[in-house]
Structure 1
């Protein structure tokens, strides 16, 4: 087994392969926009976390594909959770889900097409971390937030059963 196959396994476990936890695609498939935008007291919503995941997966994929790596200090991580309150409708939610699917499939394609040498190459401007380590940590980041999304969905379903 090599880095590529391990990373593909991690990535797919996060998005669409049932393994140790329910994959993100399966968690989100039956939610509508109102449910996805429902916020807890801490102002978190499934939609906001999905936007955060899209942002970081797209950012790192862009860095991976272009091999251009610049730390952008102007990124405020809290801003990556933003959901436009004027765009909460099923069409926009569907677009969000399509964008999420696209970035996961783009990561899959990028890894499949990668030479093993790229995965072991280090990123001098990022603590000399090897690409395989960065992608592995991105998958851990995804899994962490997938757990949050699952808990939010359980809370949402629990509330809706109480109101029935």
Structure 2
């Protein structure tokens, strides 16, 4: 398990970590929300590299170089979260799998610090409170060599929710 899990308010693309996670779609060609921001910051080669690895199934993760993202970010880990469909279709397990697979990919890359967005809580409609619990539970209980796991909130309400969830864990 990671030595430290922290919650910060900020821009995922500006984190000083070895790798950052993007909440991708199956094509890995870029999309809206956080994935669009990561693709804009990393440049067009990110879509080319992602497209060569696609498709990526929900719950899985793959890595590409970070291209034009500023060092120390060396890798982008793309994961495809579940689309919320009421909670009775394995969405929680698929979301937990996203976090576990990202950690496995980070370990394979030798990354010691990873920044995560709130996966599936935007356009995919996953309830933010449940997603926060799954993220914190999975990241704090999954064995990994990563020593710093950073949950990056893009707005104050998300930041408050993630901080409260981590504090209650």
TM-score in terms of structure 1 length = 0.27
Higher percent of residues as helix: 1
Q: Which has the larger radius of gyration?
A: 1
Higher percent of residues as strand: 2
